[in-house]
Amino acid sequence: MPRPRTAWRCAQCGHVEPRWAGRCSACGEYGSLVEEAVEKSTASSRVPATVRPVHLSEVETAAEGRLPTGVGEFDRVLGGGLVKGSVVLLGGEPGIGKSTLLLQVVDALALSGVRVLYVCGEESPAQVRMRADRLGCTGEIDLLPATAVESVERATLDARTDVLVIDSIQTMTDEGAPGSAGSVGQVRAATARLTRVAKDHGVTTLLVGHVTKEGAIAGPRVLEHMVDTVLYFEGDAEHAFRIVRAVKNRFGPVSEVGVFEMGEHGLEQVANPSAALLEHRPASVAGSAVMSAMEGSRPVLVEIQALVSPSYLQMPRRLATGVDPQRLLQVLAVLERRAKVAFGQYDVYVSVAGGMRIAEPAVDLPLALALASARKDIALPASLASFGEIGLAGEVRPVPHAEARAAEAGRLGLTRVLTGPSRRHDGGTTVIEVATLAEAVASVCT
Protein backbone atom coordinates (compact mmCIF):
# COMPACT_ATOMS: atom_id res chain seq x y z
CA MET A 1 0.00 0.00 0.00
CA PRO A 2 1.47 3.40 -0.90
CA ARG A 3 2.23 5.72 2.01
CA PRO A 4 -0.26 8.60 2.22
CA ARG A 5 1.37 11.76 0.97
CA THR A 6 1.98 14.41 3.60
CA ALA A 7 3.07 18.00 3.66
CA TRP A 8 4.21 20.28 6.47
CA ARG A 9 2.14 23.35 7.27
CA CYS A 10 3.29 26.27 9.42
CA ALA A 11 1.00 26.80 12.42
CA GLN A 12 1.75 30.50 12.41
CA CYS A 13 1.29 31.59 8.81
CA GLY A 14 -0.15 28.60 6.99
CA HIS A 15 2.78 28.28 4.59
CA VAL A 16 3.25 24.74 3.23
CA GLU A 17 6.66 23.08 2.96
CA PRO A 18 7.08 19.79 1.09
CA ARG A 19 9.30 18.38 3.86
CA TRP A 20 10.02 19.04 7.50
CA ALA A 21 12.28 21.90 8.46
CA GLY A 22 13.17 23.42 11.81
CA ARG A 23 12.09 26.83 10.71
CA CYS A 24 9.30 28.11 8.45
CA SER A 25 10.84 29.66 5.34
CA ALA A 26 7.95 32.11 4.96
CA CYS A 27 7.56 33.66 8.42
CA GLY A 28 10.78 32.52 10.10
CA GLU A 29 9.02 30.88 13.08
CA TYR A 30 10.93 28.01 14.69
CA GLY A 31 9.33 24.63 15.31
CA SER A 32 5.97 25.61 13.88
CA LEU A 33 5.66 23.04 11.08
CA VAL A 34 3.02 20.36 11.58
CA GLU A 35 2.44 17.38 9.35
CA GLU A 36 -0.82 17.04 7.48
CA ALA A 37 -2.16 14.69 4.85
CA VAL A 38 -2.31 15.91 1.27
CA GLU A 39 -5.62 15.17 -0.35
CA LYS A 40 -5.23 13.73 -3.81
CA SER A 41 -6.76 16.00 -6.39
CA THR A 42 -9.33 14.18 -8.46
CA ALA A 43 -10.29 17.24 -10.45
CA SER A 44 -8.36 16.26 -13.57
CA SER A 45 -10.10 12.93 -13.94
CA ARG A 46 -13.58 14.36 -13.57
CA VAL A 47 -15.54 15.75 -16.51
CA PRO A 48 -16.88 19.11 -15.44
CA ALA A 49 -20.64 19.44 -15.51
CA THR A 50 -22.03 22.00 -17.92
CA VAL A 51 -22.66 25.26 -16.10
CA ARG A 52 -24.41 28.07 -17.90
CA PRO A 53 -23.74 31.71 -17.08
CA VAL A 54 -26.58 33.79 -15.64
CA HIS A 55 -27.23 37.45 -16.41
CA LEU A 56 -26.26 39.51 -13.42
CA SER A 57 -29.61 41.30 -13.53
CA GLU A 58 -31.45 37.97 -13.38
CA VAL A 59 -29.70 36.80 -10.22
CA GLU A 60 -32.18 36.84 -7.37
CA THR A 61 -31.08 39.04 -4.54
CA ALA A 62 -31.38 37.01 -1.41
CA ALA A 63 -32.77 39.47 1.09
CA GLU A 64 -30.18 38.65 3.72
CA GLY A 65 -32.07 38.05 6.92
CA ARG A 66 -30.23 39.88 9.63
CA LEU A 67 -30.66 38.97 13.20
CA PRO A 68 -30.03 41.95 15.48
CA THR A 69 -28.43 40.60 18.62
CA GLY A 70 -29.70 43.28 20.93
CA VAL A 71 -26.13 44.24 21.85
CA GLY A 72 -25.94 47.42 19.82
CA GLU A 73 -22.17 47.80 19.72
CA PHE A 74 -21.80 44.20 18.53
CA ASP A 75 -24.46 44.70 15.85
CA ARG A 76 -22.67 47.81 14.71
CA VAL A 77 -19.41 45.91 14.08
CA LEU A 78 -21.32 43.21 12.22
CA GLY A 79 -22.98 45.82 10.02
CA GLY A 80 -26.45 45.58 11.55
CA GLY A 81 -26.69 42.14 13.13
CA LEU A 82 -25.86 38.52 12.42
CA VAL A 83 -26.55 37.28 8.90
CA LYS A 84 -28.40 33.94 8.92
CA GLY A 85 -26.07 31.06 8.10
CA SER A 86 -22.94 33.17 8.33
CA VAL A 87 -19.79 32.16 10.18
CA VAL A 88 -18.18 34.75 12.42
CA LEU A 89 -14.75 34.34 13.98
CA LEU A 90 -14.09 36.33 17.16
CA GLY A 91 -10.37 36.47 17.88
CA GLY A 92 -8.53 37.90 20.83
CA GLU A 93 -6.00 37.23 23.56
CA PRO A 94 -6.95 34.94 26.43
CA GLY A 95 -8.80 36.85 29.14
CA ILE A 96 -9.88 39.75 26.97
CA GLY A 97 -13.59 38.92 27.22
CA LYS A 98 -14.55 36.75 24.23
CA SER A 99 -16.58 34.24 26.23
CA THR A 100 -18.19 37.03 28.21
CA LEU A 101 -19.27 38.94 25.10
CA LEU A 102 -20.66 35.90 23.32
CA LEU A 103 -22.55 34.72 26.38
CA GLN A 104 -24.14 38.15 26.70
CA VAL A 105 -24.99 38.16 22.99
CA VAL A 106 -26.57 34.70 22.96
CA ASP A 107 -28.44 35.42 26.18
CA ALA A 108 -30.08 38.42 24.51
CA LEU A 109 -30.85 36.25 21.48
CA ALA A 110 -32.26 33.41 23.57
CA LEU A 111 -34.55 35.84 25.37
CA SER A 112 -36.02 36.81 22.01
CA GLY A 113 -36.80 33.18 21.21
CA VAL A 114 -33.73 32.19 19.19
CA ARG A 115 -32.54 28.58 19.70
CA VAL A 116 -28.99 28.79 20.98
CA LEU A 117 -26.42 26.04 21.39
CA TYR A 118 -23.26 26.97 23.28
CA VAL A 119 -20.45 24.47 22.87
CA CYS A 120 -18.07 24.80 25.78
CA GLY A 121 -14.98 22.86 24.82
CA GLU A 122 -12.79 24.87 27.11
CA GLU A 123 -14.75 25.21 30.30
CA SER A 124 -17.15 22.96 32.18
CA PRO A 125 -20.87 23.75 32.09
CA ALA A 126 -20.53 24.69 35.77
CA GLN A 127 -17.97 27.35 34.91
CA VAL A 128 -20.18 28.71 32.17
CA ARG A 129 -23.10 28.73 34.61
CA MET A 130 -21.04 30.77 37.09
CA ARG A 131 -20.24 33.33 34.43
CA ALA A 132 -23.88 33.40 33.32
CA ASP A 133 -24.97 34.08 36.91
CA ARG A 134 -22.46 36.87 37.20
CA LEU A 135 -23.78 38.38 33.98
CA GLY A 136 -27.37 37.93 35.07
CA CYS A 137 -28.27 35.72 32.11
CA THR A 138 -31.83 34.45 32.11
CA GLY A 139 -32.22 33.14 28.55
CA GLU A 140 -32.67 29.46 27.67
CA ILE A 141 -29.21 28.53 26.42
CA ASP A 142 -28.33 24.89 25.70
CA LEU A 143 -24.81 24.00 26.77
CA LEU A 144 -22.88 21.22 25.09
CA PRO A 145 -19.63 20.16 26.73
CA ALA A 146 -18.07 18.55 23.65
CA THR A 147 -14.93 18.72 21.59
CA ALA A 148 -15.74 16.31 18.75
CA VAL A 149 -17.05 18.25 15.79
CA GLU A 150 -19.20 15.27 14.77
CA SER A 151 -21.12 15.44 18.06
CA VAL A 152 -21.52 19.17 17.67
CA GLU A 153 -22.92 18.72 14.19
CA ARG A 154 -25.40 16.09 15.35
CA ALA A 155 -26.53 18.11 18.38
CA THR A 156 -26.92 21.22 16.22
CA LEU A 157 -29.17 19.45 13.74
CA ASP A 158 -31.13 17.58 16.43
CA ALA A 159 -31.87 20.75 18.38
CA ARG A 160 -32.63 22.70 15.17
CA THR A 161 -30.21 25.31 16.42
CA ASP A 162 -30.41 28.86 15.05
CA VAL A 163 -27.23 30.21 16.61
CA LEU A 164 -24.24 28.04 17.45
CA VAL A 165 -21.30 29.21 19.57
CA ILE A 166 -18.03 27.28 19.57
CA ASP A 167 -15.81 28.27 22.52
CA SER A 168 -13.18 27.74 21.30
CA ILE A 169 -12.39 26.45 17.82
CA GLN A 170 -8.96 25.36 19.09
CA THR A 171 -10.59 22.68 21.24
CA MET A 172 -12.52 21.10 18.37
CA THR A 173 -11.34 17.86 16.83
CA ASP A 174 -12.35 16.18 13.59
CA GLU A 175 -11.80 12.43 13.48
CA GLY A 176 -10.95 12.42 9.82
CA ALA A 177 -8.22 15.02 10.06
CA PRO A 178 -4.61 14.53 11.11
CA GLY A 179 -2.94 16.02 14.14
CA SER A 180 -3.99 16.75 17.72
CA ALA A 181 -6.57 19.28 18.93
CA GLY A 182 -5.46 22.81 18.24
CA SER A 183 -3.17 21.86 15.36
CA VAL A 184 -3.64 23.59 12.05
CA GLY A 185 -5.05 20.50 10.37
CA GLN A 186 -7.63 19.95 13.12
CA VAL A 187 -8.71 23.56 13.40
CA ARG A 188 -9.07 23.87 9.65
CA ALA A 189 -11.00 20.63 9.30
CA ALA A 190 -13.33 21.52 12.17
CA THR A 191 -13.93 24.98 10.75
CA ALA A 192 -14.59 23.59 7.28
CA ARG A 193 -17.13 21.14 8.68
CA LEU A 194 -18.91 23.74 10.82
CA THR A 195 -18.96 26.14 7.88
CA ARG A 196 -20.64 23.50 5.76
CA VAL A 197 -23.28 22.90 8.44
CA ALA A 198 -23.81 26.66 8.70
CA LYS A 199 -24.34 27.07 4.96
CA ASP A 200 -26.41 23.92 4.40
CA HIS A 201 -28.74 24.38 7.35
CA GLY A 202 -28.68 28.14 7.90
CA VAL A 203 -27.06 27.85 11.32
CA THR A 204 -25.47 31.14 12.30
CA THR A 205 -22.13 30.19 13.81
CA LEU A 206 -19.88 32.16 16.14
CA LEU A 207 -16.36 30.80 16.59
CA VAL A 208 -14.03 31.90 19.36
CA GLY A 209 -10.37 31.86 18.32
CA HIS A 210 -7.46 32.44 20.66
CA VAL A 211 -4.78 34.70 19.40
CA THR A 212 -1.17 34.04 20.30
CA LYS A 213 1.02 36.83 21.54
CA GLU A 214 2.41 37.27 18.03
CA GLY A 215 -1.05 38.35 16.95
CA ALA A 216 -2.05 35.46 14.72
CA ILE A 217 -5.11 33.39 15.52
CA ALA A 218 -3.38 30.47 17.17
CA GLY A 219 -2.93 27.56 14.90
CA PRO A 220 -3.79 29.87 12.21
CA ARG A 221 -4.47 32.85 10.24
CA VAL A 222 -5.58 30.13 7.89
CA LEU A 223 -9.05 30.41 9.38
CA GLU A 224 -9.58 33.95 8.25
CA HIS A 225 -10.36 33.09 4.65
CA MET A 226 -12.70 30.24 5.58
CA VAL A 227 -15.21 32.37 7.47
CA ASP A 228 -17.48 35.25 6.46
CA THR A 229 -16.56 37.71 9.15
CA VAL A 230 -13.47 38.14 11.31
CA LEU A 231 -13.67 40.26 14.43
CA TYR A 232 -10.80 41.02 16.77
CA PHE A 233 -10.97 42.02 20.38
CA GLU A 234 -8.45 44.75 21.15
CA GLY A 235 -7.33 46.36 24.36
CA ASP A 236 -5.50 44.87 27.27
CA ALA A 237 -6.71 43.09 30.33
CA GLU A 238 -5.45 45.87 32.64
CA HIS A 239 -7.65 48.53 31.09
CA ALA A 240 -11.40 48.56 31.19
CA PHE A 241 -11.89 49.62 27.56
CA ARG A 242 -12.25 46.91 24.95
CA ILE A 243 -12.68 47.44 21.25
CA VAL A 244 -14.14 44.89 18.87
CA ARG A 245 -12.95 45.57 15.35
CA ALA A 246 -14.07 43.98 12.09
CA VAL A 247 -11.10 43.12 9.88
CA LYS A 248 -13.06 41.14 7.32
CA ASN A 249 -16.77 41.24 6.65
CA ARG A 250 -18.52 39.74 3.66
CA PHE A 251 -21.78 41.31 4.81
CA GLY A 252 -20.81 44.75 6.01
CA PRO A 253 -18.16 47.42 6.35
CA VAL A 254 -14.74 46.61 7.73
CA SER A 255 -12.82 48.69 10.23
CA GLU A 256 -16.06 49.42 12.07
CA VAL A 257 -15.62 49.14 15.81
CA GLY A 258 -17.70 48.48 18.89
CA VAL A 259 -16.56 49.94 22.19
CA PHE A 260 -17.10 48.13 25.47
CA GLU A 261 -16.03 48.50 29.05
CA MET A 262 -15.42 45.46 31.27
CA GLY A 263 -17.27 45.87 34.52
CA GLU A 264 -18.43 43.82 37.48
CA HIS A 265 -21.32 42.37 35.51
CA GLY A 266 -19.73 41.80 32.14
CA LEU A 267 -19.13 44.04 29.18
CA GLU A 268 -21.03 47.27 29.08
CA GLN A 269 -21.54 49.11 25.86
CA VAL A 270 -19.91 52.48 25.69
CA ALA A 271 -22.35 54.54 23.70
CA ASN A 272 -20.35 57.74 24.02
CA PRO A 273 -16.68 56.74 23.80
CA SER A 274 -15.39 60.31 23.54
CA ALA A 275 -16.99 61.35 26.81
CA ALA A 276 -15.82 58.15 28.53
CA LEU A 277 -12.24 58.55 27.31
CA LEU A 278 -12.01 62.20 28.31
CA GLU A 279 -13.72 61.67 31.65
CA HIS A 280 -10.55 61.54 33.74
CA ARG A 281 -8.64 64.14 31.79
CA PRO A 282 -6.70 66.42 34.14
CA ALA A 283 -7.62 70.09 33.91
CA SER A 284 -4.97 72.47 32.57
CA VAL A 285 -1.96 70.22 32.93
CA ALA A 286 0.95 70.63 30.54
CA GLY A 287 1.49 67.67 28.21
CA SER A 288 -2.12 66.73 27.57
CA ALA A 289 -3.69 67.13 24.12
CA VAL A 290 -7.06 65.99 22.83
CA MET A 291 -7.05 64.24 19.49
CA SER A 292 -10.10 63.74 17.33
CA ALA A 293 -9.36 60.26 15.98
CA MET A 294 -11.34 58.01 13.66
CA GLU A 295 -12.40 54.54 14.80
CA GLY A 296 -14.01 53.01 11.74
CA SER A 297 -16.58 55.50 10.51
CA ARG A 298 -16.88 57.07 13.93
CA PRO A 299 -14.89 60.00 15.31
CA VAL A 300 -13.64 59.46 18.86
CA LEU A 301 -11.87 61.95 21.08
CA VAL A 302 -8.83 60.57 22.89
CA GLU A 303 -6.27 62.15 25.17
CA ILE A 304 -2.62 62.03 24.17
CA GLN A 305 -0.30 62.54 27.12
CA ALA A 306 3.36 63.45 27.12
CA LEU A 307 5.86 63.76 29.93
CA VAL A 308 9.23 65.37 29.35
CA SER A 309 11.77 65.30 32.16
CA PRO A 310 15.52 66.00 32.41
CA SER A 311 17.53 62.92 31.57
CA TYR A 312 20.43 61.51 33.52
CA LEU A 313 21.16 58.94 30.87
CA GLN A 314 23.63 59.10 28.05
CA MET A 315 20.88 58.03 25.67
CA PRO A 316 17.71 59.80 26.82
CA ARG A 317 14.69 57.54 27.07
CA ARG A 318 11.89 57.58 24.50
CA LEU A 319 8.89 55.53 25.50
CA ALA A 320 5.62 55.30 23.60
CA THR A 321 2.46 53.48 24.71
CA GLY A 322 -0.48 53.38 22.32
CA VAL A 323 1.35 55.14 19.50
CA ASP A 324 4.02 53.84 17.18
CA PRO A 325 7.49 54.49 18.73
CA GLN A 326 8.87 55.28 15.27
CA ARG A 327 6.22 57.98 14.87
CA LEU A 328 7.26 59.46 18.19
CA LEU A 329 10.91 59.65 17.09
CA GLN A 330 9.94 61.31 13.83
CA VAL A 331 7.65 63.87 15.48
CA LEU A 332 10.41 64.68 18.00
CA ALA A 333 12.88 65.26 15.17
CA VAL A 334 10.48 67.50 13.27
CA LEU A 335 9.64 69.46 16.43
CA GLU A 336 13.32 70.00 17.09
CA ARG A 337 14.30 71.00 13.57
CA ARG A 338 11.20 72.79 12.32
CA ALA A 339 9.62 74.26 15.42
CA LYS A 340 12.78 74.76 17.49
CA VAL A 341 11.59 72.75 20.48
CA ALA A 342 14.59 70.70 21.63
CA PHE A 343 14.43 67.39 23.50
CA GLY A 344 18.11 66.41 23.47
CA GLN A 345 18.66 66.32 27.24
CA TYR A 346 15.23 65.05 28.16
CA ASP A 347 13.52 61.71 28.65
CA VAL A 348 10.25 61.55 26.75
CA TYR A 349 7.23 59.44 27.68
CA VAL A 350 4.07 59.34 25.61
CA SER A 351 0.84 57.47 26.11
CA VAL A 352 -2.75 57.38 24.98
CA ALA A 353 -5.11 57.53 27.94
CA GLY A 354 -7.50 54.64 28.50
CA GLY A 355 -5.25 52.01 26.91
CA MET A 356 -6.29 52.99 23.38
CA ARG A 357 -4.03 52.42 20.41
CA ILE A 358 -3.86 55.05 17.67
CA ALA A 359 -2.27 53.99 14.41
CA GLU A 360 -3.41 56.71 12.04
CA PRO A 361 -1.05 59.49 10.90
CA ALA A 362 -3.50 62.11 12.16
CA VAL A 363 -1.99 61.55 15.60
CA ASP A 364 1.11 63.55 14.60
CA LEU A 365 -0.23 67.01 15.38
CA PRO A 366 -1.82 66.25 18.77
CA LEU A 367 1.29 64.24 19.67
CA ALA A 368 3.53 67.16 18.74
CA LEU A 369 1.36 69.60 20.69
CA ALA A 370 1.38 67.37 23.78
CA LEU A 371 5.19 67.13 23.52
CA ALA A 372 5.69 70.87 23.00
CA SER A 373 3.28 71.60 25.85
CA ALA A 374 5.13 69.23 28.18
CA ARG A 375 8.54 70.56 27.21
CA LYS A 376 7.54 74.20 27.66
CA ASP A 377 5.41 73.41 30.70
CA ILE A 378 2.50 75.34 29.25
CA ALA A 379 -0.93 73.74 29.29
CA LEU A 380 -2.82 73.73 26.02
CA PRO A 381 -6.21 75.50 25.94
CA ALA A 382 -8.79 73.23 27.60
CA SER A 383 -11.19 73.73 24.71
CA LEU A 384 -8.73 72.56 22.05
CA ALA A 385 -8.80 69.41 19.93
CA SER A 386 -6.48 68.65 17.03
CA PHE A 387 -5.63 66.20 14.29
CA GLY A 388 -3.26 66.23 11.31
CA GLU A 389 -0.31 64.49 9.77
CA ILE A 390 3.07 66.19 9.97
CA GLY A 391 5.53 65.98 7.08
CA LEU A 392 9.30 66.02 7.44
CA ALA A 393 9.40 69.60 6.22
CA GLY A 394 7.30 70.55 9.21
CA GLU A 395 4.13 71.02 7.17
CA VAL A 396 0.76 69.99 8.58
CA ARG A 397 -1.15 67.85 6.11
CA PRO A 398 -4.86 67.31 5.82
CA VAL A 399 -6.32 63.96 6.89
CA PRO A 400 -9.64 62.33 5.93
CA HIS A 401 -12.95 63.03 7.70
CA ALA A 402 -11.95 66.51 8.89
CA GLU A 403 -15.58 67.58 9.18
CA ALA A 404 -16.70 64.61 11.24
CA ARG A 405 -13.72 65.02 13.55
CA ALA A 406 -14.36 68.72 14.06
CA ALA A 407 -18.05 68.05 14.65
CA GLU A 408 -17.25 65.45 17.33
CA ALA A 409 -15.03 67.98 19.12
CA GLY A 410 -17.88 70.47 18.97
CA ARG A 411 -20.33 67.92 20.32
CA LEU A 412 -18.12 67.39 23.38
CA GLY A 413 -17.87 71.12 23.98
CA LEU A 414 -14.38 71.65 22.58
CA THR A 415 -14.71 74.88 20.68
CA ARG A 416 -11.32 75.10 18.96
CA VAL A 417 -9.97 72.65 16.48
CA LEU A 418 -6.46 72.82 15.12
CA THR A 419 -5.74 70.97 11.90
CA GLY A 420 -4.02 71.16 8.54
CA PRO A 421 -5.33 73.05 5.53
CA SER A 422 -8.46 71.57 4.01
CA ARG A 423 -10.86 72.50 1.30
CA ARG A 424 -13.99 72.64 3.39
CA HIS A 425 -14.93 74.38 6.58
CA ASP A 426 -17.09 73.30 9.42
CA GLY A 427 -19.95 75.43 10.67
CA GLY A 428 -20.10 74.78 14.40
CA THR A 429 -16.68 75.19 15.93
CA THR A 430 -13.84 77.49 15.07
CA VAL A 431 -11.52 75.48 12.88
CA ILE A 432 -8.02 76.90 12.86
CA GLU A 433 -6.07 75.68 9.90
CA VAL A 434 -2.34 75.84 10.20
CA ALA A 435 0.21 75.22 7.50
CA THR A 436 3.18 74.30 9.64
CA LEU A 437 3.97 72.74 12.97
CA ALA A 438 5.84 75.86 14.03
CA GLU A 439 2.69 77.86 13.40
CA ALA A 440 0.62 75.35 15.36
CA VAL A 441 2.95 75.47 18.35
CA ALA A 442 3.11 79.25 18.19
CA SER A 443 -0.67 79.60 18.05
CA VAL A 444 -1.57 77.51 21.09
CA CYS A 445 1.59 76.88 23.07
CA THR A 446 3.51 80.07 23.77
Which residues here bind Mg ion, judged by CB under 5 A?
A: 99
Interface characters, 263-282, with ligand TYD (x: CB under 6 A)? -xxx----------------
Q: Return the number of the residue (235 or 299) whose C-beta is nearest ligand TYD.
A: 235
Q: Return the number of the residue (34 or 165) whose C-beta is nearest ligand TYD.
A: 165
Partner touching 96 among Mg ion, ligand TYD, none, CB below 5 to 8 Å by kind: ligand TYD
94 binds ligand TYD per the rule CB under 6 A: yes
Partner touching 266 among Mg ion, ligand TYD, none, CB below 5 to 8 Å by kind: ligand TYD
Q: Return the number of the residue (270 or 371) whose C-beta is nearest ligand TYD.
A: 270
Residue 210 Cβ vs Mg ion, minimum distance, rounded to whole Å: 8
Residue 167 Cβ vs ligand TYD, minimum distance, rounded to whole Å: 7
Using CB under 6 A, pick the residue from 9, 76, 98, 193 that binds ligand TYD.
98
Interactions with ligand TYD, residue window 109-168 (CB under 6 A): 131, 134-135
Partner touching 72 among ligand TYD, Mg ion, none, CB below 5 to 8 Å by kind: none
Q: For helices 437-444 and 364-376, what crossing angle results, to 10°?
A: 50
Residue 233 Cβ vs Mg ion, minimum distance, rounded to whole Å: 11
Q: Return the number of the residue (69 or 99) whose C-beta is nearest Mg ion.
A: 99
CA–CA separation, 211 vs 105, rounded Å? 21
Interactions with ligand TYD, residue window 247-266 (CB under 6 A): 262, 264-266
Query: Across the chain, which distance is largest between two alpha carbons, in Å?
Result: 84
Residue 11 Cβ vs Mg ion, minimum distance, rounded to whole Å: 20
Residue 91 Cβ vs Mg ion, minimum distance, rounded to whole Å: 12
97 binds ligand TYD per the rule CB under 6 A: yes
Q: Return the number of the residue (96 or 114) whose C-beta is nearest ligand TYD.
A: 96
Q: Return the number of the residue (99 or 305) whose C-beta is nearest Mg ion.
A: 99
100 binds ligand TYD per the rule CB under 6 A: yes
Q: Return the number of the residue (132 or 372) whose C-beta is nearest ligand TYD.
A: 132
Interactions with ligand TYD, residue window 349-368 (CB under 6 A): none
Q: Tell me, letter by letter, the H, E, C secondary structure of the chain.
A: CCCCCEEEEECCCCCEECCCCCECCCCCCECCEEEEECCCCCHHHCCCCCCCCCCHHHCCCCCCCEECCCCHHHHHHHCCCEECCCEEEEEECCCCCHHHHHHHHHHHHHHCCCCEEEEECCCCHHHHHHHHHHHCCCCCEEEECCCEHHHHHHHHHHCCCCEEEEECHHHCECCCCCCCCCCHHHHHHHHHHHHHHHHHHCCEEEEEEEECCCCCECCCHHHCCCCCEEEEEECCCCCCEEEEEEEEECCCCCCCEEEEEEECCEEEECCCHHHHHHCCCCCCCCCEEEEEEEECCEEEEEEEEEEEEECCCCCCCEEEECCCHHHHHHHHHHHHHHCCCCCCCEEEEEEEHHHCCCCCHHHHHHHHHHHHHHHHCCCCCCCEEECCEECCCCEEECCCCHHHHHHHHHHCCCCEEEECCCCCCCCCCEEEECCEHHHHHHHHCC
235 binds ligand TYD per the rule CB under 6 A: no
Partner touching 134 among ligand TYD, Mg ion, none, CB below 5 to 8 Å by kind: ligand TYD
Residue 237 Cβ vs ligand TYD, minimum distance, rounded to whole Å: 6
397 binds ligand TYD per the rule CB under 6 A: no
Angstrom distances, CA of residue 264 to CA of 95, 106, 195, 302: 15, 19, 34, 24
Give the residue closest to Mg ion by C-beta: 99
One-letter amino acid for residue 397 of the chain: R
Angstrom distances, CA of residue 77 to CA of 248, 251, 292: 10, 11, 20
Residue 94 Cβ vs ligand TYD, minimum distance, rounded to whole Å: 5
Residue 129 Cβ vs ligand TYD, minimum distance, rounded to whole Å: 12
Using CB under 6 A, pick the residue from 4, 95, 282, 400 that binds ligand TYD.
95
Using CB under 6 A, pick the residue from 99, 171, 205, 229 that binds ligand TYD.
99
Q: For helices 125-135 and 98-111, what crossing angle results, to 10°?
A: 70
Residue 217 Cβ vs Mg ion, minimum distance, rounded to whole Å: 14
Interface residues toward ligand TYD, by CB under 6 A: 92, 94-100, 131, 134-135, 262, 264-266
